Structure 1
Amino acid sequence: MARETNKLSAIKVSKLRSPGRYCDGLGLWLQVADGGTKSWLFRYTRHGRARQMGLGALHTVSLAEARERARQARQIILDGEDPIELRRKQHDEARAETADMMLFKDAVARFLELHNDTWRNDKHKQQWASTLKTYAFPTLGGRPIAAIDGALITEALSSIWQRKPETARRTKQRIERVIQWVKEGKPLPRQSAAKRVRHHAALPVDDIPAFMAELRGKKGISAAALEFTILAAARTGEAIGAKWSEIDLETGVWTVPADRMKGSKEHEVPLSKRAVEILQALPLERGGYLFPGAKARQPLSNMAMLELVRGLRDGLTVHGFRSTFRDWAGDRTNFARDVIEHALAHQLKDKAEAAYRRSSALEKRRRLMEAWANYCCESRHSANVVVPLRA
């Protein structure tokens, strides 16, 4: 028995008012929305999956036109393709073609606008705009993205390639980045680190002596690691990854290799007398980690110190003690800023200041770290605080 088709008529379609779907046959349906709006749907099954494709609103597509569109969709299915996916592919290709026809100078303007908040500084942003305007726009500015190839880029930069090699290289990279950005669909830039940064909760400077007194009353490798980390103003990863081969107990210096430093530069840490005492009290297995973990040949877990901190002061972080140290050193001492920043292994933006600090100022930092340890241990001499004696 043949399927019933052409169930609807133009007059019936115009008179229908009740919300719902009305079948015309062979997958074509008229959909009446709650507000009375009417549109066409083509419903079909593809690989066992029910699908429906919009064919347009009634005010634009007549009954006869809807039937023809449904027939074309059935033909696509007969040819082994999915009409919805084929339409999406055609739309994507159309969008890509439109993007490729975008003029280079317009693409640069849009790129700079979207990335306005991602530049490291105003100078970097200005360099991007000026180099492209000066060296790329004369040749490429009025050309569509699709028309720009390697030969055109070479032509644009040929006058400065030998005369200003570094400028030419950077301009070439910027041209290629804009072109690739357009071809990738002009994605939004990644959020800058400045917007993602979350400051670690830090203990107030006045509270650190009492906290350290409580910490010294704790036993175990985690407590020793935490106290050492605080006294050294170190990061968690630097401390738990520390090995005996990095420690010189005679000179009281801990040399952290570059591959474990955030700035990828070797860092010497002068150790206070109290920090050396902590190390001397550790097991004498000098071949491995200062603070070994539960697993053989593995360091202490990076969560061990954090859990201990949370048990003593909920809401704090290990990294926050670096902020406490910075506040104490900046507000309570007369040590120079570059000495304090070097103690924290911070990279200075000021080139002159960074050059001055190339001499490690080890002895100045040793006095700073000894003063920090003395402040942290002030509670030992307070009459109002009872400190459990170590065994």
Structure 2
Amino acid sequence: MARLTAASVKAAKEPGRYGDGEGLYLVIGKRGGKSWVVRVQKDGRRRDIGIGSASKVPLKLARERASEVREKIERGIDPVAERARAAGIPTFSDAVKAVHAENAPNWKNPKHSAQWINTLETYAVPTLGNRSVADVDAAAVRDCLAAIWLEKPETARRLRQRINTVIDWAVGKGYRDAALALPVIDKALPRQRAKTKHHAALPYSELPQFMGKLRETESMGRLALEAAILTAARSGEVRLMTWSELDLEAATWTVPAERMKAGREHVVPLSPQAVALFEGMEPHRREYTDLVFPGQKRGKPLSDMTLTKALRDMGVGVTAHGFRSTFRDWVGEQTNWPSDLAEAALAHVVSDKTVAAYQRGTMLEKRRQLMNVWAAYCVGSADGRILKLVAN
């Protein structure tokens, strides 16, 4: 490539790009305006960075500025963000912190506040953080989201919303002229699989009041429903429960592998409230069956519709299975117990090593502590107050 000369720069009139070598270009616009840009590439990402108007910056100075830009890029310094800071425009990273600081006092849940900024710092700041918030465009956001769009779809959707909140804040502050072109970004991302339809669940804040109402009338269906809630078990596992599976002295319920969805034996530590419930079931025990919750037909278990009817009679538009979601939300939002512990309590499929650990010894006792506090929360308040619970 032939290098430019001062004379050729002055003589050039045709719109286009004229290379000088080492990434420096003279750019002539459609209206004849001339400017300098330097093309740089770092970590597989190519960018054009403007370094001044050709009418004010001579060729020699343009080469010097281009060299400075390349040197800064190699040292990990973003010249555009550096200039933006000097002009009072924050980087995306600084904008994230500013938006968080402004909104955090209005967020009632400290965990949500922490999750909001952690999501951005984990998935957006590493790629967008050093950019001026004015220069974060649709292409950059699309690439940022694409990295986790299929692998972590729910997290990616939250990240999209939170990045957009930061950019909208920048528009409102006058740091940039336009919001993100979200429709363009969405169309440029691969299609995510349809979300799984979840069972209707009761918000955990309403559960103590619900439990009080549930206990107002005693029936086989209501007792089975209470057992399902206190143990966070599937309704089918509760309906087929047998007395031989219960050890009320040890406060455990051992569900055999053939009745478990994952095909593994599952030990459920029973809270004092659950033990008291089963002790209270003794008068209902039938001589002809080992079922804890027998149905109306001799030797048959309680039907799933019996639990559904109990909920309908109470005027609650949720499902029995949905109380497992209620439990999971409560653990995630109101306690500090690890997610693996909650997944083990729900008998969800996790690694064999994790399952084995949580079925015995000290880990089983940790599950017992969790279920004891869960049961206390369920029955401990008739007015629906939310208790902030922290695992020791």
Considering only CA atoms, is the larger Rg found in Structure 1 or Structure 2?
Answer: 1
TM class by smaller structure: 0.3 to 0.5
TM-score, normalised via structure 2 length: 0.45
